Amino acid sequence: MKLLTGNDLKTGFVTWWTGADWSLHIEDAADVGDNGEAIAAVEEGARRVNAPYVIAGEATPDGPRPAHIKDRIRALGPTVRPDLTLKPADPNAGDWVI
Amino acid sequence: MYQYDEYDQAMVDARVAEFADQVRRRLAGEITEDQFKPLRLMNGLYLQLHAYMLRVAVPYGTLSSRQMRMLAHIARKYDRDYGHFTTRQNLQYNWIKLEDAPAILADLASVEMHAIQTSGNCIRNISSDQWASAAADEITDPRPWAELLRQWSSFHPEFSYLPRKFKIAVIAAEEDRAAMRLHDIGIQIVEKDGQHGAAVYVGGGMGRTPMIAPLIKDFVPLEDLLSYLEACLRVYNRYGRRDNIYKARIKILIHELGADEYRRQVEEEFVHVKSLGIDPPRAEFDRIAALFAPPALDVSAPDEIDRGDPDFAVWVDSQVAAHKVPGHAIVNISLKPVGGIPGDASSAQIDLMADLAETYSHDELRVTHAQNIVLPHVRKADLYAIWQQLDAAGLATPNLDLISDIIACPGLDYCSLANARSIPVAQKIATRFADLDRQKELGELKLKISGCINACGHHHAGHIGILGVDRKGTENYQLLLGGSGAEDVSLGTITGPGFDEDGVVDAIERVTDKYLAERTEGERFVDTFRRVGMAPFKEAIYG
């Protein structure tokens, strides 16, 4: 599967294309197939995302996951500061990242 | 300390206003990201893995308490309650919102700080000796020279679009505490016939092609310094490679031209530049230097230290260095607690260090390229009170220059350029060697970790260096031995095949065990390595 990601223009936070909008949560990401570049162009033009790009992803029972470690770290947050990730209360939230 | 004059303040204020308008236009859709990106980078604002990152310049690593408190305030108000001190003696915030950037820059400007030229192909923040004006071995304070270069290089119209970024360091002691020869230009203030001048080294650097800067001129009089540096930059600007980013640094130009030919061209250019009259009058340098006048220290202050508290005594032995004035000391504050993140400090810790500087160190702090903080002018009689407060705040780790005093770049946890994480490796090494007696047994051992070939973690200059690489989507760590960024400068050599995260920690333990077995009396790790060579270490690592 292919995922479309980028950063929110105002906050810089990592965002994922859900098929209709942008979400901070990788679990909401949609497979963009071959449409990623076209969606990116429209969304970036509308300033709903900054610096979007398409990545390879994998479907898992817990939802889509980026194939590469860099985007897995982007998806959750720094591995060395669990308190700053999207799931600070879940100590096992990053088990799939590394 | 240097204080902005009306020109400094006007320049910075104008830049804040200009960038605020650029941010407004970007958010309003009046300019695209392609148009905006070079503008935000000129103001130190990067887009990193998780958010925008703001790199704040700390000229020659010197801060006042007021400035330090502002760094804490910004961390608390706009970021996530911490900052990261870098190997360029700067500070980075990792969670900045674009819409907040103008207000942050305005806050910085209110305390004579900015983020200008902390990115881009320009002359970056000038770095220097963190013990300047306090070290017993310096011939003069190098910071007035560094400040002169800051003024010369700020918004220099000819050098705002160099082939590549450009880093300058200035020292004035025999002991090199600034990795001077691993800069594009390294300057050592030297004395000749009773006059101070600059020994100029050009073409050093780390990155994917590490090089030690050769000496280009052994003595440049102060009255010629800016003209000479202008000539150095002009030759680079004219002939530096702009067609290949990997060959664009000045070290490549000098390597390809040869130091002699580069020197000849610089000398030729210097004759022309000198006729332009860009060197400031001596009175201007004296005006700057007067602002760096050392604080009035009481030479009759007691020289004894009450070492009755054993934990305090351990800290003194590790973290306190000799000051040039009797009864005083230099305090080195470790930002490397065992298992912590090298260079990170919370807002509360930053505030505390500001308070300590105000109370005990004549209102002054320094950031070191090893990602620690220095209180440069402390009475020995105050050391115990300082230690108690540092200890209560988790800032009294006694590990200066020991194996757990690790330099580490942000790595793949934060940096979009990184290929592997640096911080977890640093944490595992520090934890493995947490026993202080064991660290002291190993003695001075500088360990430096970079998460990619760009070498922000100075791995080439580590007695032990680690380079994180991406091997088919998996983190892999190459080990290097024998580097040094000090006056005995050298570049590390790769041991062989790389390791995974745990494997590299095991390999380091085998290296240190081998060192203990091989060393002779008084030898540091790097001395033993230089004497016996790679072979026994390689044997120990790989069998």
pLDDT recorded at residue B14: 98
Give A78→chain B minimum CA distance, Å.
5
Q: Which residues in chain A are contacts of B416 at CB distance < 8 A?
A: 70
Please, where in chain B does CATH 3.30.413.10 lie? 142-289, 407-542
**Closest Cβ opposite residue B423 in set A69, A74, A80:** A80
* Beta carbons of B98 and A10 less than 8 Å apart: yes
Specify the DSSP element, H or E, that contains A55: strand A50-60
For the stretch B253-310, pLDDT in tens is 999 999 999 999 999 999 999 999 999 999 999 999 999 999 999 999 999 999 999 9
Give A40→chain B minimum CA distance, Å.
13
B435 has pLDDT over 90: yes
Tokens standing for residue B475: 């983190």
- The Cβ of residue B290 has, within 10 Å, a number of other Cβ atoms equal to 9
| A14 close to B49: Cβ distance less than 8 angstroms | yes
**Closest Cβ opposite residue A47 in set B29, B423, B474:** B29
By C-alpha distance, the chain A residue nearest B419 is: A70
Diameter of chain B measured on Cα atoms: 68
| Assigned architecture for domain B407-542 | 2-Layer Sandwich (3.30)
* Beta carbons of B50 and A80 less than 8 Å apart: no
Specify the DSSP element, H or E, that contains B468: strand B464-471
* Distance between CA atoms of residues B414 and B432, nearest Å: 24
Chain B residues contacting A, CB < 8 Å? 26-27, 29, 33, 47-52, 80, 95-99, 341, 412-414, 416, 418, 421, 423-424, 427, 470, 473-475
Pick among B50, B452, B500 to test the A interface (most A CBs inside 10 A): B50
By C-alpha distance, the chain A residue nearest B475 is: A69
**Cα distances (Å, whole numbers) of residue B218 to B154, B196, B371:** 26, 12, 30
Q: Taking residues B133-162, what's their average pLDDT?
A: 97
Rg (CA), chain B: 23
Q: Taking residues B509-532, what's their average pLDDT?
A: 98
* Beta carbons of A80 and B413 less than 8 Å apart: yes
By C-alpha distance, the chain A residue nearest B339 is: A80
Q: Which amino acid is at B374?
A: V
Give which of B88, B170, B131, B61 is closest to B294, Cα–Cα. B131
Q: Which amino acid is at B160?
A: S
Q: Which residues in chain B are contacts of A43 at CB distance < 8 A?
A: none
Per-residue confidence band for A92, with pLDDT thresholds at 50, 70 and 90: confident
pLDDT recorded at residue A91: 81
DSSP string, B124-192: -PPEE-TTTTT-TTBSS-SHHHHHHHHHHHTT-GGGSS-SS-B-EEEE-BSS-SS-GGGSSEEEEEEEE
Computed over every residue of chain B, the mean pLDDT equals: 97
| B469 close to B476: Cβ distance less than 8 angstroms | yes
* Distance between CA atoms of residues A9 and B142, nearest Å: 42
Diameter of chain A measured on Cα atoms: 38
| Superfamily the domain B142-289 falls into | Sulfite Reductase Hemoprotein, domain 1 (3.30.413.10)
Q: Taking residues B485-500, what's their average pLDDT?
A: 98
pLDDT recorded at residue B268: 98
By C-alpha distance, the chain A residue nearest B29 is: A47
* Beta carbons of A80 and B33 less than 8 Å apart: no
| B174 close to B185: Cβ distance less than 8 angstroms | no
Per-residue confidence band for A1, with pLDDT thresholds at 50, 70 and 90: very high
For the stretch B26-40, pLDDT in tens is 999 999 999 999 999
* Beta carbons of A12 and B96 less than 8 Å apart: yes
Give A34→chain B minimum CA distance, Å.
23
* Distance between CA atoms of residues B329 and B442, nearest Å: 25
Per-residue confidence band for B454, with pLDDT thresholds at 50, 70 and 90: very high
* Beta carbons of A84 and B95 less than 8 Å apart: yes
Give B116→chain A minimum CA distance, Å.
20
B397 has pLDDT over 90: yes
Task: Return the CATH number of B6-109, one of 3.90.480.20, 3.40.50.2300, 2.40.110.20, 3.40.50.970.
Answer: 3.90.480.20
* Beta carbons of B47 and A7 less than 8 Å apart: yes
pLDDT recorded at residue B167: 98
For the stretch A59-84, pLDDT in tens is 999 999 999 999 999 999 999 999 99
**Closest Cβ opposite residue A69 in set B48, B427, B475:** B475
Q: Give the pTM.
A: 0.97
Q: Which amino acid is at B478?
A: Q
Q: Which residues in chain B are contacts of A56 at CB distance < 8 A?
A: none
Exposed / middle / buried, residue B296 (Cβ in 10 Å: 0-12, 13-18, 19+): exposed
Pick among B26, B49, B336 to test the A interface (most A CBs inside 10 A): B49
* Beta carbons of A79 and B33 less than 8 Å apart: no
By C-alpha distance, the chain A residue nearest B81 is: A84
Q: Mapped to the 3 state alphabet, what secondary structure does B297-335 carry?
A: CCCCCCCCCCCCCHHHHHHHHHHEEECCCCCEEEEEECC
pLDDT recorded at residue B116: 97
Q: Which residues in chain B are contacts of A73 at CB distance < 8 A?
A: 49, 412-413, 421
pLDDT recorded at residue A85: 95
By C-alpha distance, the chain B residue nearest A70 is: B412
Q: In percent, how much of chain B has pLDDT > 70?
A: 100
A93 has pLDDT over 90: no
Please, where in chain B does CATH 3.90.480.20 lie? 6-109
Chain A residues contacting B, CB < 8 Å? 7, 9-14, 44, 47, 50-51, 67-70, 73-74, 77-81, 84
* Beta carbons of B33 and A44 less than 8 Å apart: yes
Per-residue confidence band for A94, with pLDDT thresholds at 50, 70 and 90: confident
Tokens standing for residue A89: 């209360």
Q: Which residues in chain A are contacts of B418 at CB distance < 8 A?
A: 70
Give A3→chain B minimum CA distance, Å.
16
* Beta carbons of B33 and A7 less than 8 Å apart: no
Please, where in chain B does CATH 3.30.70.3340 lie? 310-392
pLDDT recorded at residue B344: 98
* Distance between CA atoms of residues B168 and B306, nearest Å: 41
| Assigned architecture for domain B310-392 | 2-Layer Sandwich (3.30)
| B193 close to B173: Cβ distance less than 8 angstroms | no
Q: Which residues in chain A are contacts of B80 at CB distance < 8 A?
A: 84
pLDDT recorded at residue B41: 96
